[in-house]
Amino acid sequence: MAETNFFQNRRFCVTGGAGFLGSFVTAKLKERGAREVFIPTIERYNLVERDDIRRMLDDARPDVVIHLAAQVGGIGANREHPADFFYSNLMMGVQLIHESWQRGIEKVVAIGTVCAYPKFTPVPFSEDDLWNGYPEETNAPYGLAKKMLLVQSQAYRQQYGFNSIFLLPVNLYGPRDNFRLDSSHVIPALIRKCLEAQDRCEREVVVWGDGSPTREFLYVEDAAEGILLATEKYNQSDPVNLGSGREISIKDLAELIARLTGFEGRLVWDTDKPNGQPRRALNTSRAAERFGFRARVDFEEGLRNTIAWFRENRASLKLD
């Protein structure tokens, strides 16, 4: 079936479709010719509740569900709300997949997290190592809740022949990201801190940890492209990494963001704060082999786009 027909001939429900990643996924769905894309909002549907999931599916009548909705945050938010992160993410995903199976929905695309990997996974992370240890402690509840959707996907395929897939994106960044310091990830937090330090004529920016951990980042538009390629072309329950293939230390990242934002002061490392997982970088060969995904946006270009978007929009954002 031609790509345009796949998207034109199906109804899509995108949970989290009004959010950061979701806004890019829904835009790309429409670019591909999808005529019916249902975007549930948190004001109308609390997807932790089974009755709300059922009502959403009644209203959407989807052929394909793309499940992006999640309760997420950086290390601080994960440390403060481990029970919330575990319960909300588990209940949303497990009940949604179960209700979708019961209704005979054609396909569910479940989005996992790189936090599901064991703390000391050999780098680059291979999907085959997903079960070889316990996740890094600060985000283990969130990572394990998401990981259960992989177990469910594989179990429902084995017993019922139900078509669901499980994707593992690395840390995302880009325009429209969350820049609230109480819940943001490292890139938007550092961008905001550097720009606000300049505004206040401050000479220091404090960064969590000691700068030694490494991370891999995927531009949000690339992530959306990978998700839609998998939605169309991938129909197995083996987990698949979505990443860029570039590993960078937090120290180098902070220095790069300082340079790109024009902050010329000093970076101060708060070593009383946790580092998180020591290293994080993905083997992305499975995504390339199974549905042809490769990241395209250069990291520095993506950071420049993100900084420019925040400069242009920060006056209108709710940042407190």
pLDDT at 127 over 50: yes
Q: Compute CA 295 distance to the chain's CA centroid, rounded to the nearest angstrom.
A: 15
Q: Is residue 309 situated within a structural domain?
A: no
Catalytic residues: 142
| Residue 1, pLDDT score | 36
| Residue 277, pLDDT score | 83
Find the domain containing 61 and state its range.
3-176+217-247+278-297
Calpha distance 122→54 (Å, rounded): 41
Q: Is residue 317 situated within a structural domain?
A: no
Look up residue 168 and give its two tokens.
């593992």
Q: Is residue 59 situated within a structural domain?
A: yes
Calpha distance 258→71 (Å, rounded): 29
Q: Is residue 302 situated within a structural domain?
A: no
pLDDT at 317 over 60: yes
| Residue 257, pLDDT score | 98
Q: State the average pLDDT for the chain.
A: 95
| Residue 128, pLDDT score | 97
Categorize the per-residue pLDDT at 276 as very low, low, confident or very high, splitting at 50, 70 and 90. Answer: confident
Q: Is residue 273 situated within a structural domain?
A: no
| Residue 264, pLDDT score | 96
Calpha distance 40→14 (Å, rounded): 7
pLDDT at 173 over 70: yes
Q: Is residue 183 situated within a structural domain?
A: no
Which candidate, 279, 133, 272, places its Cα nearest to that of 206?
A: 272
- Give, for 260, the enclosing helix (H) or strand (E): helix 250-261
| Residue 38, pLDDT score | 98
Categorize the per-residue pLDDT at 2 as very low, low, confident or very high, splitting at 50, 70 and 90. Answer: very low
Categorize the per-residue pLDDT at 109 as very low, low, confident or very high, splitting at 50, 70 and 90. Answer: very high
Q: Which range (182-186, 256-260, 313-317) has the least confidence?
A: 182-186
Give 212-264 pLDDT, tens digit per residue.
999 999 999 999 999 999 999 999 999 999 999 999 999 999 999 999 999 99
Q: Is residue 45 situated within a structural domain?
A: yes
| Residue 274, pLDDT score | 86
Contact 102, 158 (CB under 8 A): no
pLDDT at 206 over 90: yes
On the question of a cis peptide bond just before residue 124, with omega within 30 degrees of 0, the verdict is yes
Name the domain count of the chain. Answer: 1
pLDDT at 3 over 50: no
Q: Is residue 43 situated within a structural domain?
A: yes
Categorize the per-residue pLDDT at 282 as very low, low, confident or very high, splitting at 50, 70 and 90. Answer: very high
Contact 116, 143 (CB under 8 A): yes
- Give, for 96, the enclosing helix (H) or strand (E): helix 82-102
Mean pLDDT of 288-297: 98
By CB atoms closer than 10 A (0-12, 13-18, 19+), residue 200 is exposed
| Residue 184, pLDDT score | 83
Look up residue 289 and give its two tokens.
């082999």
CATH number of the domain where residue 51 is located? 3.40.50.720
By CB atoms closer than 10 A (0-12, 13-18, 19+), residue 157 is middle
By CB atoms closer than 10 A (0-12, 13-18, 19+), residue 18 is middle
| Residue 318, pLDDT score | 85
Give 27-79 pLDDT, tens digit per residue.
999 999 999 999 999 999 999 999 999 999 999 999 999 999 998 777 777 78
Mean pLDDT of 124-131: 97
Contact 230, 166 (CB under 8 A): no
Q: Furthest-apart CA pair in the chain: how many Å?
A: 62
